[in-house]
Amino acid sequence: MTTILTVVAQREATSLTPALLNQIRNAVRGAPPVVLSPGEAADIPLSVPLDHAALRAALGDKPVDAIETKPRGRRKAVLIADMDSTIITGETLDELAGFAGLGEKIAAITKRAMNGELDFKAALRERVGMLKGLDVGALEKTWEQIRLTPGARELVATMRAKGALTALVSGGFTFFTGKVAAELGFDVHRSNVLLDDGAALTGQVAEPILDRDSKLTALNELAAQRGVKLHATLAVGDGANDLDMLRAAGLGVAFHAKPIVAKEARARVDHANLRALLFAQGYPASAFVAE
């Protein structure tokens, strides 16, 4: 066995039929599939190099993701995850801006920053500056609107149960990462500090700003803390500020990512939910933990 091709479908669609699975297997000249979750995920062992063109042709426009990994060291000892549009479904700063009547304006800047068109630090300072004077109560109101991405709870709980160190590292704010980390059981959370005077936002964010370089630094530090090399780490994110840590991690996954990230990442999940990250490590659904 040279590599393993993990194919994962949208859970709700259960579109990974035996016929499609056999079609994919024949296209890539793989061994008999190992079903990880009926209709949702399977491993196809490969003894020949993956034929990417044949795989694309077999998948067509079906909502199925494919991630290639090496058999050795599939199960990772460190998980480092982005928060906005990854572990949660939305962008907290954009949603917070909605309470200032600036949702669309700030979301447009966020979109450009996450696609690498703007300097992250400058874009963050600009957006936070626009929120000067916003009542701090808007933070709690924003938290009430936050929704977890499907599969997030299983991803964190399962990896922790298997002994992994789990970290939420975000260019967002500690008000939210602290709550998300507590809700899901992340061991560590790192993010930016949004400043206020006790009643309203000051329009400033504490320095230094956690950015693209900081995420890569966090990955290295957490791997060292856990006593493992980078090949034993898993990173997931969707924005340009995640790219360096995705490239450096043993398994770096672009999750429903912005175009520049999807293009450059070695592994992507465009259709499935965060359960795909467990399947990519070889975990069957029967081994998942949900807390």
- Residue numbers annotated as active site: 82, 84
Quote the crossing angle between the two packed helices 174-184 and 137-145, to the nearest 10°: 40
- What span, in angstroms and rounded, lies between the C-alpha atoms of 233 and 222? 9
The β-bridge partners of 254 are 237, 268
Q: For residue 105, give the amino acid letter.
A: K
Q: For residue 45, give the amino acid letter.
A: P
Contacts of 24 (CB under 8 A, 6+ apart): 5, 7, 30, 44, 55, 58, 59, 64, 66
40 close to 14: Cβ distance less than 8 angstroms? yes
149 close to 269: Cβ distance less than 8 angstroms? no
Task: Report the relative pairing of strands 78-81 and 233-237 from DSSP bridges.
Answer: parallel
CA pseudo-torsion sign 279, 265, 65, 91: positive
What is the SS3 assignment for 253? strand
165 close to 78: Cβ distance less than 8 angstroms? yes
62 close to 15: Cβ distance less than 8 angstroms? yes
- What span, in angstroms and rounded, lies between the C-alpha atoms of 264 and 268? 10
- What span, in angstroms and rounded, lies between the C-alpha atoms of 80 and 7? 22
